[in-house]
Chain A
Amino acid sequence: MKRLLFFCLIIFALATSCVKAPLPAPITGHPLLPLADIDNSGLFAANPDGTKIAIARDGLSLFDVNSKTAHDLSLKKPVALAWSPDGLLLAVAFEGADYETELLLYSADGRILKETSLPVVLSQLVWSRRGDLLAAGFALKIYTFGGNLRQLLYTVDLDSVEEILLSDSTLRPALARQVKPLLHNLLPVAFSPQGDELVFLRLHDPPEFSAYFQMLYRNWQVDSARELDKFPLQAMALDWNLNGDSIRIQSETGQQTLKLWPAEVQAMGSSSAEEYRFHNGQLYRGSQLVVDWGDDAQIQWFADGTFLLAVNRQLYRGSGLLKNSAITYNETDWNLRRWRYEELVTPEEYKKLRQEIDK
């Protein structure tokens, strides 16, 4: 019996040591420190100075990093979290009934300031650098004669909700029924780091041809979108580069980078070879894979090089990962980017003016 107990203890110790084994850190000498538990969605969002973290954990909790205490904000499981750039507001999206989304705005101390319902399945929830809360989603209505697929963008603040139509497609009945359960993965929406522009896929189903994806690019303050490319139906991932001037497309055929403007502007002090990039749980430096934390891992960077990592139902804090990710709001650049989109200034003029701003 003693031998059996001893054997069990050894097995337990081995198993425990496996769970507690330190995750591979991206930089030697900068270990990842466990911070809090998180549910298997890995969904979290820290405010800009990293002192408060909204965490999906048996609903939604607000974790205070300094006191190491948490209090519950909701018993419902969120589908998206985003802190405003000034850290005063936390936007939380919950899945609503009938393919709707419940959107709540909390104060930094967890008080509900606004509650609204959006008639879409949410695709993306972000704050622009200027401070616009942007919620993009889609709505599919199926009729006997076909489906109507609309992609919508909402700008939300404490006083109002504005709806912007991104796309409107008519689908044949069979396609509408076939894609309905898959749309969440088929219609990615990617916002520029500034939050002023977005790239998204529109499902186009013309009567005489096979259905395909239209990749569209739009500054959401301007009425019209531009077609970037066409793709056959497939799951794709879209990822903006740091400067907000080109986009990486991950498709079945591989990865490609699409320049949105001929005169691409590189941000001062950054180069793509040094830039850290996180995609599908993998951390890259330039094109070099640094570490693979698994598909479910989520990361959030801070300007001082610290970062938060959610993996294996645990939230970690790390440091030393300097990344030129600190896109700050510049009113002139914000307007110039819109004017470039509207062709009021040429890409060359924008490049020249942007360089003057960066000086």
Chain B
Amino acid sequence: MSLSLRLLCLIALGLGLGFVNMAWSDDCVECHKKVTPAAVNQWQESAHAEKLDCTDCHGKDHEAIVAGEAFVDAKVCGRCHEKAFHEHVASKHGMGLHSGWGCTRNLDTRDPRECAFCHEEGSTRPKTTVQCARFLTQTAEMRSLGCNRCHQVENSCASCHTNHITDLAAVRAPESCATCHMGPDHPQWEMWQTSRHGVLSATLGESAGPTCQRCHMPEGSHDISFGVTMSPAMVQLSGEEFDQRRREMLGICVQCHGQSFSERELKSADAILAQSKKLIMEAEVIIRDLADRDLLVPSLQERPHHPLRDRELVLDGQMLYEDISHIERLFFKMKKYDLAKTVKGAFHQNPAYTHWYGNAELKMTLADIKAEAARLKNVPQSLTEPVDSRAGDGLYLSLEEELKILKRKHDRGAISDDEYGEAKQLLLKQLPNK
């Protein structure tokens, strides 16, 4: 075949492919104007309409699209929006799904498409080992709507930007964050809205009162961890990481406030975080002691297995709010709701959240926990479990209980080997026949 003939064939092929592509897009629009007119309208009015057609993002496999297998994830957007994609992936939003997801492969209701959230195609290796016990205990419907609708932010730019709209006004408004950042566990929206920042923003505009985006996503950055000195579990960062994040936030504050004022306010919030966590620790010690004494109702043996820790008493970020005792439920409220309101209220400069919704609730719940602990300790044992009259009543039974409590404390590291040995000897001295 001559060179000119080959060239001619290639041109024809190129034209042919271009025609097919155009035909595809025309087909999409033609049909989807009837099927999903809003999506077509939004795309036609968007900045994407000039440069991209449907297949650029959705691909050409219509069957896969219909089956929901051609998910337009963040990587698709990242092909063009490279900087935003990398900032997003490195930020807390980039672990949004991880922090709310557990492996679903053993669940009856598992949707195979979910694999793509945690695994690269063809890989069984998860992107992270983080799992969420609260997610795993939900129904498929609740997991989809109640968990993933927010936590899918890791993989979905549409979480904030919506699917076809490109008008940045929609994502630059603080309301955009409110869909997820509201409610009892982290009411950033409500506490900002009613803070001086929020009120000034609502009344005099953004130049007078900063929005979420102004402080946390300066200059359009997608690193929403910017200036934040706590982990999602409200553990204070340390060392260079803390210093860097604090410098970032001070850089924002000083755009309106003095340096020393800004430093003092943030330090006050740091102090409130430390003070509040002390209250949490106090409550945790009480509950662990009750678990050592097997006084929780239902007991760790009686309740369903924890999806990640089996029979362990779980009071950390994997704590459940169901199938637990009343005193644990009080602790959950204290840690998940009251602590968050106090601390985030302080950092967002909202006195009512910091004090009344937060601090006061923290302390009142601690009082409830103490009262409940006292009640549980005074419940006659016969009410919680039948006593085997032949298992050694009186002295033997009480010594056995004390030995079990000591062992649990020792096993979880609350007392040293020496303390354990000494305390045990004191108990065993009470045995008769010696």
List chain A positions with a Cβ less than 8 A from chain B. Answer: 130, 132, 221, 330-336, 338-339, 342-345, 349, 353, 356-357
Contacts and interface: CB of A to CB of B under 8 A. Distances in A.
A130 B392 CA distance: 11
Given A334-B392, A335-B396, A349-B424, A343 B431 contact: no
A58 B328 CA distance: 65
A342 B401 CA distance: 12
Contacts of A331: 392, 396, 432-433
A353 B404 contact: no
In this complex, the member of A336, A338, A344, A353 whose beta carbon has the largest number of chain B beta carbons within 10 angstroms is: A344
Given A335-B396, A335-B400, A345-B428, A130 B390 contact: yes
Contacts of B399: 335
A132 B400 CA distance: 20
Contact of A343 (B390, B407, B428, B434): B407
Contact of A330 (B388, B391, B433): B433
Given A330-B433, A345-B424, A349-B424, A221 B400 contact: no
B297 interface: no
B403 interface: yes
Contacts of A330: 433
13 contacts: A132-B390, A331-B432, A331-B433, A332-B434, A335-B392, A335-B396, A335-B399, A339-B400, A344-B407, A345-B428, A353-B431, A356-B434, A357-B433
A196 to B, nearest CB: 11
Contacts, number: 42
Nearest to B407: A344
Interface string B380-410: 0000000010111000100110011001000
Given A130-B390, A349-B424, A332 B431 contact: yes
Given A132-B390, A353-B431, 16 more contacts: A221-B388, A331-B392, A331-B433, A332-B396, A332-B432, A332-B434, A333-B433, A335-B396, A335-B400, A339-B400, A339-B403, A344-B407, A345-B403, A349-B424, A353-B434, A356-B433
B249 to A, nearest CB: 51
A247 B377 CA distance: 42
Interface residues of B, number: 16
Residue from the set A332, A342, A343 with the largest chain B CB neighbour count within 10 Å: A332
A344 B400 contact: yes
A156 to B, nearest CB: 13
Do most interface residues of chain A lie in helix, strand or loop, or is the interface mixed? helix
A343 B424 CA distance: 12
A316 B396 CA distance: 43
Contacts of B407: 343-344
A257 to B, nearest CB: 29
A132 B403 CA distance: 25
A328 to B, nearest CB: 12
Contact of A332 (B391, B404, B433): B433
B404 A344 contact: yes
